[in-house]
Structure 1
């Protein structure tokens, strides 16, 4: 599971897209509307564009896929099925009017907390990657809960805060995930994983 704080303003065209589904109308969201929104959000990770708006998605995807590889999901870099083994979520489940530094009250985080806990219960992840200080703070209390996943914290994935997935400074992170999975970190595994990380970077940041 990947947890972040990503409450920025909708990307170009998203408001009109949501309006075409009726999502701007107050009231309950239908099952069909929820499926449309899920498919749209998932596409940002499975098939992201190359613009600045998707740097966030592409960086996170490289770390999610590298973690899945270590956990035993050895999908080819060109495959799309990896998404079936990963769940992306935000600790604040809404958008904001401004992209930079929106002020979110503590009560808003608290209101979203039951949804995060429900997601954890539903998916029972083995590993949780928390990107950014705010996400790390909000999931810290999960460490004390029974059956909580292993939690790893990383910098927020934009504005050069997070080094590329190929950077050796991340080796310790992936070694720890390998220990959780019972993967023996042999020289061959290390070489194969290094090649996979390089291929991921080339795919998402050509």
Structure 2
């Protein structure tokens, strides 16, 4: 039986400046491969912190996180890094493209870090870029790309190594509504078609509406919308 892409059980995080109080607690979630889920919530509730906990970049204070059937806390730092590198793709609001690398090189970065077969890389990059409408911009540096083009590069980079889970943190906050809708549709379609689970956190109702399942984050857990 195939493991869930992600499972959260009673996950909680205390406030850094007030450890007697919870930033959030009792977070329960299970994502299956190919599922696109959006978590909405106001700023300051810890949505980005939750993604960092899932990725093993930040420690939780309660509960359990399992990725592809593996308890993340049971892994040492090296194993956690490898799991993150191989199984997770990231899409950020501020893109996080490396300015000295071309669009092509930015997209290829996770593939190279995972030492995947070089002979397949060019074809894979160009196929993703074609789907995202940026194949003519592959040799451009990030500073010469529009915001929408940079975000499409970020989406391609998140998907290049066929991750099990894509984490998207306010991925359209820097885009106008039309470009935002296009990018989210492509992220959902391409992620789910590849069998990846996509988890997006956002404050935007319009962005969340594109997901298959929508949840609201409160301090006491996730609630259906």
TM-score (norm 2): 0.26
Whose strand proportion is higher, 1 or 2?
2
